[in-house]
Amino acid sequence: MTGRRGLVALRAAAGLLVAGCLLVTFLTGVDQRPMALAFGIVVAVGELPLLDPRLLPDETPADGPGPRERAPLGAAGALAYALVGEHAGHPTHHGVAQVVVVVAAASLLGSVPCLARGEGPVLDHLVRRVLAVGFAAVCFQPLYTRGVFDDWCGPAYVLLLLALLVLTVLCDAVLAAALACSRTGWPFAPLLRDELRAVPGIGSAVCATGTVMALAVAVVGLWALPVFSVPLLLTQLSLRRYAAVRATYRQTIASLARATEIAGYTPAGHARRVAALSQSVGRDLRLPEPELTVLEYAALMHDIGQLSLVDPVPAGATAGLAAAEQRRIALLGGAVVRQTGASAQVATVVERQADPYPEQPVAARIVRVVNAYDEKVRGSGPGGALSALEELRLGAGGEYAPEVVEALARVLTKGRLTLSSGG
């Protein structure tokens, strides 16, 4: 409930901010309408779904951190509007309320295609955009209007804008982590760490472009907007192609993982369940996203070595085999994974899932525990989940890593994810 309340609170804050700014703008009127229209067009165009909808903001990308900002051009245009102090040498007076209203309206307009198709958490993206831009406008517009920055010129003024943009991007990272934490229940700290790690990538491009836009409009006027929008727009299109390649690669891995099920070596859905539960356990143990990606792929393909067996293991339950046989199957699986072109890290996890747990990487420990749990709980009655956990606890310290078993118990208790093999 706490996570749900946090999500509602952030959405309510954004809604109240937009409503208040809309009221102020209605009472005072729109100042410098051509500039508001020009920046609104840039933001709306930048918000169009040029990226693959499977990598919309706050989703967990399939294979690595990926682009944290689905609309970098929209972000840069919105932040530039919040930090514009002059237009072709003349001071501006649009203020905080107008900035929020223009950005909110343009972002909503650009997001209509995604809303119509129901793709991704668009509402949370709009919440992030409104609150982040509101933060930047509040930090700059009132002080600029009062003349606080009149003595700032040249490099000092550029550094001021960059500093404000960096603070805004950091604020946006906190908002993104908070929204994801509230929506999914995953730990906040790892989510924030992954968001901050992604900042130097697309975040640096957004900061640089936003600064250049604001400075160029101050000198040459609105003609600077299309000129400085082109590089980030091309970057946005390139990210779409990259997202499509990543999505195709993940689909290939998922199809390969189903080979053991189609061949009758493992029950239907086993690889998918192990992968989903393994990722939840990995998040509970606060693994970074690159390691979560390795964990997902290794969990999907952890049984691929069974394809080399002449006689299938009954029900695909390798946890009950002798240690030597488990290692042999794991090594065969690692060899298959290496031939697929997957990363060496994924192959290593598959190869070492049957090693003594003190010698295993964390991902291999997780796969081993979750695989054993899914095999033990399969086909059992209502109390099967508790019995399976108790068996794993009895084996902890010998076969299974105790910290992973306890993380699995927390995930099953807190999230009530997969308490039966049908989950």
Architecture of domain 258-415 in this structure? Orthogonal Bundle (1.10)
Kindly give the confidence (pLDDT) of every residue in the chain, 423 residues in length, as a single tens digit, with 9 standing for 90 and above.
456 777 888 899 999 999 999 999 999 988 889 999 999 999 998 887 654 444 433 333 333 333 456 678 888 999 999 999 888 888 888 889 999 999 999 999 988 877 776 655 678 888 999 999 999 999 999 988 888 887 788 788 888 888 898 899 889 889 988 888 888 777 888 888 888 887 887 788 888 888 888 889 988 888 888 888 888 778 777 777 777 777 777 788 888 788 887 877 778 888 888 998 999 899 888 888 888 888 999 898 888 888 777 667 776 667 667 778 888 888 888 888 888 777 788 888 888 888 888 888 899 999 999 988 888 887 665 567 788 888 888 776 678 888 998 889 888 887 554 444 444
Render the burial of 259-271: b for 16+ CB within 10 Å, e for the rest: bbbeeebbbeebb
Domain regions of the chain by residue span: 2-248, 258-415
Q: E-strand spans in 38-165?
A: 86-87, 90-91
Could you report the per-residue pLDDT of 150-172, keeping only the tens digit for each? 778 878 888 888 889 889 988 98
- The conformation of residue 199, written as its DSSP 8-state character, comes to I
- Which amino acid does the sequence have at 273? R
Tell me how many degrees the CA angle 174-179-185 measures, rounded to the nearest 5.
115
Helix (H, G, I), strand (E, B) or coil at 92: coil
Residue 421 to residue 204: CA distance in whole angstroms? 45
Could you report the per-residue pLDDT of 15-56, keeping only the tens digit for each? 999 999 999 999 998 888 999 999 999 999 888 765 444 443
| Full DSSP string of 290-350 | HHHHHHHHHHHTTTGGGGG-SSPPGGG-GGGS-HHHHHHHHHHHHHHHHHHT--HHHHHHH
283 sits in which H/E element:
helix 270-284
List Cβ neighbours of 402 (8 Å cut-off, separation of 6 or more): 393, 396
124 sits in which H/E element:
helix 122-145
Neighbours of 9 (CB within 10 A): 12
> Are the C-beta atoms of residues 26 and 89 closer than 8 Å to each other?
no
| Residue 44: φ, ψ to 5° | -65, -45
